[in-house]
A = this chain, B = another copy of it.
């Protein structure tokens, strides 16, 4: 059995809380009726990957709620084919199935991201995890984020290997692997790749445990920084791949032209790079770069597992400013009576005159 997790609500006007939305209050999934056997919910979740391919849908709130919004503090799991559940999926990026030459990634993967509508769906009591206990909505959202950030890094650390590899291989195929600006750009890609990998491991090594429950979860500071770091740098990575690839990344003939006897010999002859590399291999790599740098890839990198702004907010909130400030006060010779477990125990520095 598999399940899809549905978190992000449709949201409507982002400046308004769930219960303030206009012209209707269903932008976030909410309880519209409560009976002895269960509840009826209405609203929509957005961008729920693979939802049509799962047995169950697990719904959780996407943010902290206030008392006014308590109808939106709702979590439950139901079969995907429950009455009233509607899925409107994004079209596949390509409409040319099995064209793995021109679209190595997008012909292989279709996430079926769907707008998941709950059109007055009945949820039986035993399938409800949270129902209007609004104080806990934020905890669920936060804890899900902690794991989700790390899951992002786990696949992104590998993804960065082939992004960096594609850039390095392209440089080789074009004969520019020794150009200083290329070395410079590849060095940046290596750093991004390795930092995400090391920080992801550190998120596990320095796992944190919840005082009351003993629940262990990835180090949130580390996991947030790692997620932010690749999301924030992704457009730079795509730029480098396109920069090294050349204009041909935009103007490459299609597989049909490549296999058309009338055009094949010209393409074979003129789209070669380094003499030792078959033209076909160079074309495949160019196609990979084109496919990896699509708007779709850009957008899921920024938004999947939480937006850039969300990570920055988490990093700021997680920061131990008391420790940092105590360090600064000691260096400046400021004594304001506040004690810090580490810094107040250290000898004076600079020394007292």
Which residues of chain A have a CB within 8 Å of any CB of chain B?
A: 8, 10, 12-16, 21-24, 26-27, 44, 46-47, 86, 88-91, 95-96, 98, 100-101, 104-105, 107-108, 113-115, 117, 119, 158, 161-166, 168-169, 172, 174-176, 178-181, 183-184, 186-187, 190-191, 193-195, 198-199, 201-202, 205-206, 221-222, 225, 228-229, 234-236, 238-239, 242-243, 245-254, 257, 263, 266-267, 269-275, 281, 284-285, 287-288, 290-296, 298-300, 302-304, 307-309, 312, 315-316, 319, 321, 323-334, 336, 349-351, 353
Q: List 13 A-B contacts (CB under 8 A).
A: A47-B250, A88-B263, A88-B266, A117-B270, A119-B266, A169-B325, A180-B181, A180-B183, A195-B225, A235-B236, A239-B302, A242-B303, A250-B299
A300 and B247 contact, Cβ closer than 8 Å, known pairs A166-B331, A201-B202: yes
Q: Which residues of B contact A350 (CB under 8 A)?
A: 100, 104-105, 107-108
> Which interface residue of A46, A105, A198, A296 has the most chain B CB atoms within 10 A?
A198
Q: Are B308 and A243 in contact (CB under 8 A)?
A: yes
Q: Which residues of B contact A158 (CB under 8 A)?
A: 327
A13 and B175 contact, Cβ closer than 8 Å, known pairs A162-B327, A326-B165, A332-B284: yes
Besides the contacts A235-B236, A235-B239, what 15 more A-B pairs have beta carbons closer than 8 Å?
A14-B179, A16-B175, A46-B247, A90-B250, A95-B95, A100-B333, A161-B323, A166-B332, A168-B321, A181-B309, A194-B319, A234-B239, A242-B295, A290-B295, A291-B295
Q: Which residues of B contact A315 (CB under 8 A)?
A: 187, 190-191, 194
Looking at the assembled complex, report how far the CB atom of A59 sits from the nearest CB atom of chain B, in whole angstroms.
Answer: 15
Q: Which residues of B contact A316 (CB under 8 A)?
A: 183, 186-187, 190
Q: Are A194 and B225 in contact (CB under 8 A)?
A: yes
Closest to A102 in B: B91
Q: Which residues of B contact A186 (CB under 8 A)?
A: 316, 319
| Total identical chains | 4
Q: Kindly list the 7 A-B residue pairs having the minimum CB-CB distance in the complex, ordered from nearest.
A: A180-B180, A165-B324, A165-B328, A108-B350, A250-B299, A13-B175, A162-B327
**Which of B183, B239, B285 interacts with A328 by CB under 8 Å?**
B285
